Amino acid sequence: MEDKHVNNNEKPKDDSQIIAESIGKASLIEPSMEPSTVHKGVYYGSYLELNNLLSLQNLESSKVGKPAHEEMLFIIIHQTYELWFKQIIHEIDSIRSIMSTPPTPERLNGVILNRLKRVTEIQKLLVDQISILETMTSLDFLEFRNLLVPASGFQSVQFRMIENKLGILPNTRVQYQQHHYHSFFSEDDRQKLETSEKQVSLLQLVIQWLERNPFLHHEDYDFWKSYRSAVDQILQKDLERVNNNKDLSDDMKEQAIKDINKNMESFQTLFDEKSYNEKLEKNEVRLTYKALQSALLIYLYKDEPIFHTPFLILNYLTEIDELLTMWRFRHTMMVQRVIGAKIGTGGSSGYHYLRTTVGDRYKIFLDLFNVSSYLIPRNTLPQLPPVVQQQMEFVWQLH
Amino acid sequence: MEDKHVNNNEKPKDDSQIIAESIGKASLIEPSMEPSTVHKGVYYGSYLELNNLLSLQNLESSKVGKPAHEEMLFIIIHQTYELWFKQIIHEIDSIRSIMSTPPTPERLNGVILNRLKRVTEIQKLLVDQISILETMTSLDFLEFRNLLVPASGFQSVQFRMIENKLGILPNTRVQYQQHHYHSFFSEDDRQKLETSEKQVSLLQLVIQWLERNPFLHHEDYDFWKSYRSAVDQILQKDLERVNNNKDLSDDMKEQAIKDINKNMESFQTLFDEKSYNEKLEKNEVRLTYKALQSALLIYLYKDEPIFHTPFLILNYLTEIDELLTMWRFRHTMMVQRVIGAKIGTGGSSGYHYLRTTVGDRYKIFLDLFNVSSYLIPRNTLPQLPPVVQQQMEFVWQLH
Amino acid sequence: MEDKHVNNNEKPKDDSQIIAESIGKASLIEPSMEPSTVHKGVYYGSYLELNNLLSLQNLESSKVGKPAHEEMLFIIIHQTYELWFKQIIHEIDSIRSIMSTPPTPERLNGVILNRLKRVTEIQKLLVDQISILETMTSLDFLEFRNLLVPASGFQSVQFRMIENKLGILPNTRVQYQQHHYHSFFSEDDRQKLETSEKQVSLLQLVIQWLERNPFLHHEDYDFWKSYRSAVDQILQKDLERVNNNKDLSDDMKEQAIKDINKNMESFQTLFDEKSYNEKLEKNEVRLTYKALQSALLIYLYKDEPIFHTPFLILNYLTEIDELLTMWRFRHTMMVQRVIGAKIGTGGSSGYHYLRTTVGDRYKIFLDLFNVSSYLIPRNTLPQLPPVVQQQMEFVWQLH
Amino acid sequence: MEDKHVNNNEKPKDDSQIIAESIGKASLIEPSMEPSTVHKGVYYGSYLELNNLLSLQNLESSKVGKPAHEEMLFIIIHQTYELWFKQIIHEIDSIRSIMSTPPTPERLNGVILNRLKRVTEIQKLLVDQISILETMTSLDFLEFRNLLVPASGFQSVQFRMIENKLGILPNTRVQYQQHHYHSFFSEDDRQKLETSEKQVSLLQLVIQWLERNPFLHHEDYDFWKSYRSAVDQILQKDLERVNNNKDLSDDMKEQAIKDINKNMESFQTLFDEKSYNEKLEKNEVRLTYKALQSALLIYLYKDEPIFHTPFLILNYLTEIDELLTMWRFRHTMMVQRVIGAKIGTGGSSGYHYLRTTVGDRYKIFLDLFNVSSYLIPRNTLPQLPPVVQQQMEFVWQLH
């Protein structure tokens, strides 16, 4: 229903062509608010649909005639969560849209960066927000908890959509009560979930973008070859240094060589494209081999101008993952504190389910975290050929 | 309109007497969620009215055919603010209601404390939330700013109601554009404001509670007399010590005596009930003389068991004030950063108005802050008569 | 070496009996700072020993002639952690001292509360502080990482002391590299650890305090009996309601009865003192049976005045646990992000060790979290006998 | 004194060429910590100089034989502040050093960005840290407050150095007690302050960098001319639209024209170089005319790839300012709460002095805030000539 605040106050005027229409669009006039203009143009309350918004808090406990003071908080905090989820979806969708637009979506890296940052700022808030819910004591929650059966935060469609749009695959999800997660949603919601599962995820778009990195090969330069030979040299030197060190006892030498061998194995896995691709098929890794190389290139040469924003973007992606995990973790602890983990109900309690979702399994950009393991110190980093480095320049000089 | 999610999915069943009705109210059954129960009973999305909630974001920029990406954030952040304002009002109203219920509202000090704490937790969130809005750049805001004319956050009825319910008086408000703040609201909203101005404010209820403090006088004990004589003695000793100190140069002695005199004057004001009451009438102070004494008593003897929760309550009240001020301050800075303070438009800019609201003028419990000035060190604190102290005891012992 | 700032500036004066000595102690003089007084009395820099403090940042990378910019951050952040750990120990020790002082330590519940709160405020900072370290990229860390071998944050004696003083038992600790945690410390530090292990822990003192709760039995009133009979009644009613409900299908009935039975079992465990004590001996629970009852009494009747501060104290204890866990969790994630979890080095990596410490195993007050599972709704709570309730009163009335 | 932890434990071994020396430098070996290696190489406690660090907390109240529990917090919180100040100086100095290194310091914009971000992360912590100090009550502070006379946080040399290095001029400072701020420092400290005042400030380096912006003029393109003509056109259109609008009453038209005129005046100031330079000489503005234009260019065309990081850098600079102001503000409120603003001591109280420092006067990058006022909407923004825009490209394509 329309908010007819104006009518309450005065009868519609002839100059109903409101000021906003006539002047407001004039672009350099500082919007002013004076009583004479207030009842024309946009009104704060109507713009935000406050009459509607503030009437959507309907307590189940009121319906049964025993209004529980704390249920209001329960509703409002969940509603603010959902509003923020909508905003996060708005941002992710816009980034996905930019990144799907040929030919050079990275032209808008500044915009992408800003929106990813915003997502993390929202996520921080969502994590902190749990402190508010923690002011509700267990005893107070009991006053209305049973009235909500079987509703559960598990059923937040938007949260699941965020996960899907970022790139969580349906089959990585932990089953809840031995059922596919769809089972807990209404038909309408299930359709939304399916749609979001089918869309190109942010992860996929990031992979495509990384694969476009033109610096993996440039004329004679082959990043992967150059990186690999640097790694080999370092490991070789490590080995020599240990072998030539007369101060080491046999035990220590043995241990050191064992460590180096482990290290070599770990890098071996990295350099074996075939076995990497097998992992990819099994979903043990998510970045393609080429995308992984590209990420490594960016992490290692992040100081080159052309990588300044790409590096920041990769960082924000891992931060989004980190904050999602943090949210799950704090949420789990809050549940333990307010609800407890009932002894005897075994693995089926909400608390125990939630614990299983806090881990690497739900990290979308896990491979980016793991890239850290493959970095080599700056002083061992192969020098870039001048012709390549020049292409990466981007400074206060007209070419 | 009803959210009929169930119907989308399956036709209503005979056992439509939902589980919640039949078992859910059984109070010790841990609510479980299984696919078989999901479509009976309460559903997350319907409970939170998500269909409605998530359709209230109507961009002005979309109406004119030029959807501005950032307007979504602008709407959603304001809507979450308003939801939280509703929650704060819910808490303040409940506290006001408890504190108005004779004979011993302080029986529920634990509840009051918890709700005040919750208000501060919400306020912290509201302050932090500004960081999210700060991810919107000035240039992006310009895309839709003029379309909102003349709407303004100034017109948040709920925010004004919070101020009124806490105890801000209409005549302490800074005028905006030389007009009474009512002028900027619709007729409906104006009525809500007036109602909230007429209600007994939290400040008034706090005063009444403080005045009931039975320890101001108890048999022979007179707190005010005892406190006053302690102050006199300290000041007297200060003076003697300075006068007898041969190491002080004349200049230093003079300065020291001047300082002590200033101090004496300051305490004089405190001990002069008549002049205090004059200030009260002029609204320069807000606590009555008796309430001020009671607050001082609590602050000085906060270690006595009976004052543990009262002291915490007074602390949360000042924290609410502090966080309100902080919110105003961060809001002001955000406006400066995103909108700027146009040179030339003078004192009428939003930024300049906002600056005037960040100060003691809007502190409801300012007198509680000032009490700090009148504290005296613990070692100079008059010993309480045993009979009084015993009454303040409240320990792990049955009487 | 003494900070002789005074001498740098002017020769010592005859009135070296500084102002602080002569007047400063006068207790109501507002401390003033004027140039004439600045060089007498306490000086900010000397008071804080800044000359020393700011010379303790000695970079290993500087020693080998290759100063790494980021190592400064690494040192300073750890030094601030250690300063805050000292403060936490200061607070915990003072609380332990108060709680060990007969006859009625709870007289100072206000002080205990305040210091517990401070500990949580510090902990929040320590968690947030990790964000600063996360601005150090993996590549930058590699510049000096190997120079620090084998030093590790694991070796923070103060952090281990905090854990011990709170009540973590040496044998609950996860072994690191199959060794007792002592093995990684110097002899001096090991002695400090042993001392802290032998002290009465905060947990033990909390147990003693809870056991003193005089309301477990009072004349005819027996809390445990009253609580148990309430639980029995509820469960009985649950069962009846299910059995009499004709709308339930056989399947649903069966499931519901199964749920109630699980519930009954869970409460059975609670009511079986013998089996509870067996768990206690195996360290599966940490509160004694009596202390657990006392905690439950406080949680259920938290609205009674005498339980206002005890309830808050129990809450802060669980919050300390929660924040410790949070710190471990964020720390783990930071390690994963900055260092990575090298593929191939298996369970021995720092990351994998850290993950094992984030869980219930390290929760000192885990039993308090679990109490939530045994709460019963307010409307089923047995009414306290008037004579008991009166003893719990603590209101604005002189007896 | 040396920390000889090794000696306490075992006698020095022949293989004192520690593992760190022999293997540690091997760059890909994951540092491992095992008991056998612990007493060789770097030890956590010695590395951080914990023996020294944790012995620098010397309570004045202990010296006079009356240890005040809360003084420990007072010392430790100030020491952590000073450690963080050292870190901030470390970052600012490194940025200043990069920005002073010809020919293309902006090559390292990624590094600059990261360090500026780190400064803001530290600042956020410093603001939040105040919450910890607020757990100290006024009464508790009185126990030792007079012993510290006349020391004051005002005397933090490092804080003043930060201000100076950022670009605060000595003569913009508010006088304290009618004295130059130097007067309150020891001779040694005064010299440090003077040195920092004479150094090239970050502000100056930012100005130099902005002035180098090659896009202000490029062949035929003249940014300032293009921008000015766009502004003129918009204002002209505003005026026409108002004049041609028949729905406006005379009053409204008059008001609208007045608003536009104000706007014109404000822009006039901007376009009048001579009067701008007069303001510059009077320190009313701090950016040179050319630097201001450059900043405006970046803000308006921030979506162009070459401006992605410069825009972020400018943003972090304003954020540093904002967080400094926030710190001053929260500090002021904390002082009011804990100390109070003694009635009668007039403008000389610490609280009143502090209030004067919270404002635009201490904003180093105030001009960047004000740039917002001069932005024009994207759709009115002059199109860049293709040849210019191409130079600003910086995308995933080899040229």
* Size of the A and B interface in Cβ pairs below 8 Å: 286
Q: How far is CA D9 from CA B188, B377, C192, C197, D40, in A?
A: 80, 48, 14, 20, 11
Whats the size of chain C, residue-wise?
Answer: 399
- Chain D nearest-CA residue for B379: D143
Q: What are phi and psi of B101, to 5 degrees?
A: -100, 105
CA A207 to chain CA mean position, Å: 15
Q: Percent of chain A beyond pLDDT 70?
A: 86
Question: Rounded to whole angstroms, how far apart are CA atoms B201 and D136?
Answer: 29
Task: Give the pLDDT band (50/70/90) at residue A6.
Answer: very low
pLDDT digits (tens, 9 = 90+) for C174-187: 877 678 889 889 99
CB contact under 8 A, B340 and D263: no
Residue ranges of B 172-201 with Cβ closer than 8 A to chain A = 176-177, 179, 183-189
For residues D19 and D40, the answer to whether their CB atoms sit within 8 Å is: yes
Please judge whether B143 and D269 are an interchain contact, meaning their C-beta atoms are less than 8 angstroms apart: no
Q: Which of A33, A82, A148 sits opposite B53 (nearest CB)?
A: A82
Count of all residues that appear for chain B in the document: 399
Confidence of residue B201 (pLDDT cuts 50, 70, 90): very high
Please tell me the least confidently modeled range out of B355-369, B384-398, C232-246, D143-157.
B384-398
Residue range B295-302: mean pLDDT, rounded: 96
d(CA A334, CA D89): 39
- Cross-chain residue pair D188–C42, CB shorter than 8 Å: no
**Residue A319's pLDDT band (cuts 50, 70, 90):** very high
CATH topology of domain B70-398: Methane Monooxygenase Hydroxylase; Chain G, domain 1 (1.20.58)
- Tell me if the bond preceding D170 is cis, omega within 30° of 0: no
For testing contact with chain A, the best of B116, B149, B193 (most A CBs within 10 A): B149
Q: Provide the pLDDT for residue B179.
A: 83
Q: What is the enclosing helix (H) or strand (E) of C84?
A: helix C71-99
Average pLDDT score, chain A: 85
Nearest to B17 among C106, C213, C247 (CB): C247
Arithmetic mean of pLDDT, B17-37: 49
D370 — contact with chain B (CB < 8 Å)?
yes
Residue carrying the six token digits 């906060």 = B302
Mean pLDDT value across residues A303-307: 92
Token pair in block for residue B272? 């002069």
Reported confidence tier of residue A358, pLDDT bands at 50, 70, 90: confident
Model pLDDT, residue B33: 59
pLDDT band at B16 (very low <50, low <70, confident <90, very high): very low
Residue A34, pLDDT score: 59
C58 pLDDT exceeds 60? yes
Q: Which residue has the higher pLDDT, B398 or A242?
A: A242
Tell me phi and psi for residue D308, to 5 degrees: -55, -55
DSSP 8-state code for residue B345: S
**Residue A22 touches chain D, beta carbons under 8 Å:** yes
H/E element holding B218? strand B217-218
A307 or D170, which is more confident? A307
Query: Model's pTM, two decimal places?
Result: 0.92
Q: Rounded to whole angstroms, how far apart are CA atoms C396 and D215?
A: 74
Q: Check whether C92 has a pLDDT greater than 50.
A: yes
Q: Give the residue ranges of DSSP H helices in chain A.
A: 5-9, 19, 35-38, 44-47, 50-53, 60-63, 71-99, 109-133, 138-145, 157-166, 187-198, 202-211, 223-244, 250-271, 273-281, 289-300, 308-338, 350-357, 366-371, 386-392
Per DSSP, B199 falls in state S
Contact indicator for D156, D361 with CB cutoff of 8 Å: no
Burial D366-388 (b: 16+ CB within 10 A, else e): bbbbbbbbbbbbeeebbebeeeb
How would you class B70 by CB atoms within 10 Å of its CB: exposed for 0-12, middle for 13-18, buried for 19 or more?
buried
* B353: closest CA of chain A, how far (Å): 12
* pLDDT the model gives residue D342: 52
pLDDT at A32 over 60: no
Of A213, A259, A305, nearest to D107 by CB-CB distance is A305
B65-69, C230-234, C305-309, D177-181: the lowest-pLDDT one = D177-181
Average pLDDT, stretch A117-125?
98
Residue A34, chain B, CB below 8 Å: the answer is yes
Segment B191-207 mean pLDDT: 97
Q: State the CB neighbour count (10 A cutoff) for residue A7.
A: 13
**Given C40, C83, C132, which is nearest D80 (Cβ)?**
C83
Q: Quote the pLDDT of residue B257.
A: 86
Determine how many CB atoms are found less than 10 A away from the CB of residue D52. Answer: 15
CB contact under 8 A, D376 and A28: yes
pLDDT at C137: 92
- Categorize the per-residue pLDDT at A280 as very low, low, confident or very high, splitting at 50, 70 and 90: very high
Q: Which two tokens stand for residue A127?
A: 């994590």
Question: With an 8 Å Cβ cutoff, is A139 touching chain C?
Answer: yes
Segment among B27-31, B227-231, D47-51 with least mean pLDDT: B27-31
Q: Which residue ranges make up each domain of chain A? A: 70-398
Decide if A90 touches B, using CB distance below 8 A.
yes
pLDDT along chain D (399 residues), means of 10: 38 36 47 57 93 97 95 97 98 97 89 98 97 94 87 90 95 80 91 96 97 90 95 90 83 82 86 95 95 96 93 97 94 84 45 80 92 90 89 67
Predicted complex ipTM:
0.90
For residue C226, what pLDDT is reported?
96
Residue B360's pLDDT is 85
**What is the nearest CA distance from B319 to chain D, expressed in angstroms?**
9
**Residue C347: pLDDT above 60?**
no
